[in-house]
A = this chain, B = another copy of it.
Amino acid sequence: MNFSSKLLEDAVNEFGKLPGIGQKTALRLVLYLLNKEQSEVAQFGNTLIKLKSEIKNCVVCHNISDFDTCSICTAVKREKEVICVVEDTRDVMAIENTNQYFGVYHVLGGLISPMDGIGPSDLHVETLVERVKNGDVKEIILALSANMEGDTTLFYLHKKLKDFNIPITTIARGIAFGGELEYADEVTLGRSIVTRVPYENTLIK
């Protein structure tokens, strides 16, 4: 692209580095910002700078946090004996949005993926083992994605944690709400039959 301004070009290039944003979209965003007040744009810029410089990872669960220990780990109402192991912050937010879980989390920071060169040592597995060893843990829920990497990680974590004799559970796989049987894939449908549950258990109490 032919830019009449170096400042414009720099800003477009910065936006263009973001995933899923090409040159044209970047230009549209920058021109949008140019029409905004100076103070608004400055706030945008400063928020980003502040974000990266001040944000921390919780020392207990590795979730993104403003403080050394995150708000979930410090909340008195949460059951500290139940740990839900997830891939990243997005999964924590997704589970929190359900309002169905009241334990704490452990954020792995990824999944085991030999293809991408990510092994167990790149994830927060050791600290999880420490938490289980030292804490009064009653249940470990492995809430990982139902794909190859998720299953590999599931298998590895189970091997690491099974000797503690603590119940290890995984979130249920099955037909999603609103999903129709005839369009479900065979693996999901098959698994949902094998792991069928008593009807009474599905009723909200």
Binding site for B on A (CB under 8 A): 1-8, 10-11, 14, 17-21, 25, 27-34, 36, 38, 41-55, 63-66, 70-72, 88-90, 92-93, 96-97
Contact = CB atoms under 8 A, between A and B. Distances in A.
B29 A52 contact: no
B52 A33 contact: yes
Question: This chain: how many copies in the complex?
Answer: 2
Contacts of A44: 14, 17, 45, 48
A34 B11 contact: no
B92 A4 contact: yes
A10 B47 contact: yes
Contact of A41 (B38, B52, B88): B52
A33 B51 contact: yes
